[in-house]
Chains A and B, each alone.
Chain A
Amino acid sequence: QKEVEQDPGPLSVPEGAIVSLNCTYSNSAFQYFMWYRQYSRKGPELLMYTYSSGNKEDGRFTAQVDKSSKYISLFIRDSQPSDSATYLCAMSSRALMNRDDKIIFGKGTRLHILP
Chain B
Amino acid sequence: ETGVTQTPRHLVMGMTNKKSLKCEQHLGHNAMYWYKQSAKKPLELMFVYSLEERVENNSVPSRFSPECPNSSHLFLHLHTLQPEDSALYLCASSLLAGVPYEQYFGPGTRLTVT
Q: Which residues of A contact B (CB under 8 A)?
A: 4, 8, 32, 34, 41-46, 49, 51, 88, 90, 92, 94-99, 101-108
Contact = CB atoms under 8 A, between A and B. Distances in A.
B99 A92 contact: yes
A17 B55 CA distance: 43
Highest count of chain B CB atoms <10 Å: which of A42, A88, A106: A42
B105 A101 contact: no
Nearest to B31: A97
Q: Identify which of B42, B44, B56, B92 gathers the most chain A CB atoms within 10 Å of its CB.
A: B42
A88 B105 CA distance: 13
Most A-side CB within 10 Å, residue of B31, B45, B96, B102: B45
B4 A43 contact: yes
A25 B102 CA distance: 21
B98 A107 contact: no
A-B complex: 4 closest residue pairs judged by Cβ atoms:
A43-B105, A97-B98, A105-B43, A97-B97
Contact of B42 (A43, A95, A98, A107): A107
A8 B40 contact: yes
A102 B98 contact: no
A52 B12 CA distance: 43
A46 B95 CA distance: 14
Which among B31, B40, B56 has the greatest number of chain A C-beta atoms within 10 A? B56
B50 interface: yes
A43 B92 CA distance: 9
A35 to B, nearest CB: 12
A32 B97 CA distance: 14
A13 B108 CA distance: 29
B107 A41 contact: yes
A51 B41 CA distance: 25
Contacts of B43: 44, 88, 90, 105, 108
Contacts of A4: 42
Given A43-B4, A46-B103, A96 B40 contact: no
A111 B39 CA distance: 16
